[in-house]
Amino acid sequence: MNNSLIQALKHQHIETPSWGYANSGTRFKTFPAPGAARTVWEKVEDAAEVHRLTGIAPSLAIHIPWDKTQDWDKLEKFAQERGISIGAVNPNVFQDEDYKLGSIAHPDPRVRAKAVAHILECIEIMKVTGSRDLSLWFADGTNYAGQDDLRSRKHRVRDSLQQIYAALPADKRMLLEYKLFEPAFYYTDLPDWGTAYAHCVALGERAQVLVDLGHHAQATNIEAIVAFLLDEGRLGGFHFNNRRYADDDLIVGTSNPLELFCIYAELVQAENGADEQLKTTAHNVAYMIDQSHNIEPKLEAMLYSVLNCQETYAKALLVDYQALRQAQQAGDVLGAHRILLDGFRTDVRPLLEEVRQEMGLPADPIQAHRQSGYQEKVARERGTQAGGGGFPT
């Protein structure tokens, strides 16, 4: 096997989300899962188990106040003892009664100040836990024409983001997420990558765009968005999931695996190209899962998510990009298409089994999880808890 390919696979990093281990649901129903994590400490334990089995999920994204604790130093140490770290910090400015008409775009300056204060609190948490990324998503928007002045909302958003950016330490980043719709259906204050990009450019180089795969209109070419943001040095990270219709938060790679492959192909080309600035941007991209596992087993679903990313990355690494560029420059339409899809069609499972063997990991992490007794153990210890239903988007 090619040594550089093996090393790339060994150093892959997929961040799992704390909310993916807890009970969650739709607006219709939450189905309680036996052994679902009830506290941030249990979420750390579950994330550590996923990393133990895969070797490529060494950090856990947290959501505040869902994961709030009185002792962040203790939590950081607790995570380190289990072989993982605390990753992106996600503020919650959409579940408080005050945020009915928005948070940082709200007409009332008191509410905007409250939202900004909460995000500044999250920056303080980042300082203690060593987190690099502040991951921002806002439910702000309107449902009716004339409900609010659109340009005024833009100015409020910009002013609030400027306050937040000014408080970021030099070694931290702001990742700005966008969403086409939901819960606002007439207008969303951050509806697309272009709006997020414009705000980031106005803020500074440590403000970058976060791409959630579920936050686009049907048939949107997400890999083209990825290519553009990479080239502009503004691609900060991903929230990996999959969708059939909207923001379904399904397991990544289950609904449209070719889309995921094309995204990874853009990233691999940037990582291995000659442009040093492009390489730096690509190597700093944060790969994060953002999914709501409502009917499937929590840990097994998370394992599928991580492993689907691993398999797709391996396929993208196997593409003959030199031949691809030659075919592209020669105008060989179908030749170029075939070269790219040769990578997509490659069965990389034997390769990944060899890589895991070298890393001292089980050849089949999902089977190892099923045989480990971990799920039965946490089900006995934690029981089945009603509640949940909230998850970030």
Tens digits of per-residue pLDDT, 287-325? Answer: 999 998 999 999 999 999 999 999 999 999 999 999 999
Q: In the predicted model, is pLDDT for residue 368 greater than 90?
A: yes
pLDDT of residue 2: 82
Instruction: Tell me: pLDDT of 240 over 50.
Output: yes
175: DSSP letter: E
Compute how many other C-beta atoms are within 10 angstroms of the C-beta atom of residue 174. Answer: 24
Which distant-in-sequence residues (6+ apart) come within 8 Å of 192 by Cβ? 178, 180
391 located within any domain = no
Q: Is residue 392 part of a domain?
A: no
Query: What are 207's strand-pairing partners?
Result: 174
Residue 131 lies in a domain: yes
What CATH number does residue 206 fall under? 3.20.20.150
**Domain contains 78:** yes
- Considering its fold, how many domains does the chain have in total? 1
Give the confidence band of 389 by pLDDT, cuts at 50, 70, 90.
very low
Is residue 265 in a domain?
A: yes
Eight-class DSSP state of 221: -
Q: Does residue 389 belong to any structural domain of this protein?
A: no
User: Three-state SS for 385?
Assistant: coil
Band (pLDDT 50/70/90 cuts) for residue 385 is confident
Whole-number pLDDT of residue 1: 59
What are the tens digits of pLDDT across the range 100-134?
Answer: 999 999 999 999 999 999 999 999 999 999 999 99
Q: How far apart are CA 300 and CA 49, in angstroms?
A: 11
- Respond yes or no on whether the N-terminal peptide bond of residue 65 is cis (omega within 30° of 0): yes
User: For residue 139, what are the domain limits?
Assistant: 3-382
Strand partners, 25: 30
Mean of all residue pLDDT scores within the chain: 96
Within-domain flag for 173: yes
Looking at the DSSP bridge assignments, the partners of residue 174 are: 134, 207
**Mean pLDDT, residues 353-359:** 97
| CA 34 vs CA 146, 165, 282, 329, 386: distances in Å | 47, 41, 39, 55, 10
Q: Is residue 279 part of a domain?
A: yes
**Tokens of residue 294, six digits:** 């409502």
Q: Is 346 exposed, middle or buried (0-12, 13-18, 19+ CB in 10 A)?
A: middle
Are residues 77 and 105 in contact, defined by beta-carbon separation less than 8 angstroms?
A: no
Q: Tell me, what's the pLDDT at 387?
A: 60
Percent of the chain with pLDDT over 90: 93
Output the pLDDT for position 27: 73
Over residues 61-80, the pLDDT tens digits come to 999 999 999 999 999 999 99
pLDDT at 393 over 50: no
Cα–Cα distance, 141 to 187 (Å, whole number): 5
Helix, strand, coil share (%) of the chain residues, nearest 5: 50, 15, 35
Q: Residue 63 and residue 86: Cα distance in Å, rounded?
A: 11
What pLDDT score was predicted for residue 388? 53
- pLDDT of amino acid 392: 43
